[in-house]
Amino acid sequence: MPELPEVQTIASQLKKEILGLTILGVWSDWPKTLQVVSHKDHLKIKKTKKLVKASELKKLYKVFCDDVIGKKIKNVSRIGKNIIIHLSDEHVILVHQKLSGHLLFSEWDIINNVPISKKKGVLNDKVNGYIHLIFYLSGGKMLALSDLRKFAKVISGPKKEIFSLSDIANLGPDPFDKNFTFEKFKRRVKNKKGKIKTVLLNQEVLAGIGNIYADEILWVCKIHPLTPTEKISSVKLKKMYNEMKEMLRFSIKIGGDSMSDFRNIYGEKGKFQKYHKVYQKKGEACTRCKAKIERIKVGGRSSHYCPKCQQAAC
């Protein structure tokens, strides 16, 4: 799943490309991706619902189109792992890319209801070909969502209504929030009892950190993923706070992590996967002490760590 650096990469690139453009139309072969929120209701279809009436899908698609077509794109920002496209009339589109989704900026032809890239190169790579949603923009531009697993969600509605959803309202502070001091970080971690890996992944504690960066941050700080939060010293927490920000900034600088499906809006890979120390390195030698990297399950998620550098403090 794209994490903070990947989502920030997309948001920053979109900000350069689509500001001032108007949404002229929408194409989708998978309307389940779409949601529309108003002060009256929240129109959506559960992705787990297998039998969906064609009339339901048609209604959702029409309402979504009516809500966004004709609106101008004013700004693009990031909140946690969400991309927020700010429209005219105080409307927004929230995009959560989930496991395999990524936004692409290019041009496509729809042939037999299948989008075909007009441009050669990386946009023709298989990972960029699972397109299920396209926004037609003024100036002949297009913004598409490629999503192999079809878990992504795209929500439109008034900004006030969208920002009141749990997707935004329940998020913890952003690591780059200027008011998010070390003392606030320490307090949030210490107040949330549990294993440190689980706490780092909790979006209500801290927004934007996922499996990749949690593993890498804990390795740099020599902290075992199963360490209870109350066992971590203030010195270690201060290092974690500083290393977290430095690592996230570095990853943003090099375009995020493309170990899996993530690509930027031009269909290109990021480079952070080249700098992994433990993530997906099971059985390989730790670059610091040469012990073999191990993998365990923490809260149902795979966690990679060095058993020598990151000894348990249980």
Is residue 230 within 8 A of residue 190, CB to CB? The reply is: yes
Token pair 């490309």 is found at: 17
Q: Which of 59, 239, 301, 308 is catalytic?
A: 301
Q: Which of 2, 5, 31, 175 is catalytic?
A: 2
Q: List Cα–Cα distances, 313 to 144, 227, 302, in angstroms.
A: 46, 5, 19
* Beta bridge pairs of residue 134: 27, 144
Is residue 214 within 8 A of residue 276, CB to CB? The reply is: no
3 assigned to active site: yes
Tokens representing residue 272 in the block: 């952070």
Q: Which of 81, 188, 263, 269 is catalytic?
A: 81
User: Can you tell me the distance from the alpha carbon of 210 to that of 247, in angstroms, rounded to the nearest whole number?
Assistant: 13
User: Can you tell me the distance from the alpha carbon of 184 to that of 190, in angstroms, rounded to the nearest whole number?
Assistant: 10
Token pair 């606030």 is found at: 184
301 assigned to active site: yes
Please state the φ and ψ torsions of residue 105, each to the nearest 5 degrees.
Answer: -120, 105
Task: Give the residue numbers marked as catalytic.
Answer: 2-3, 81, 301
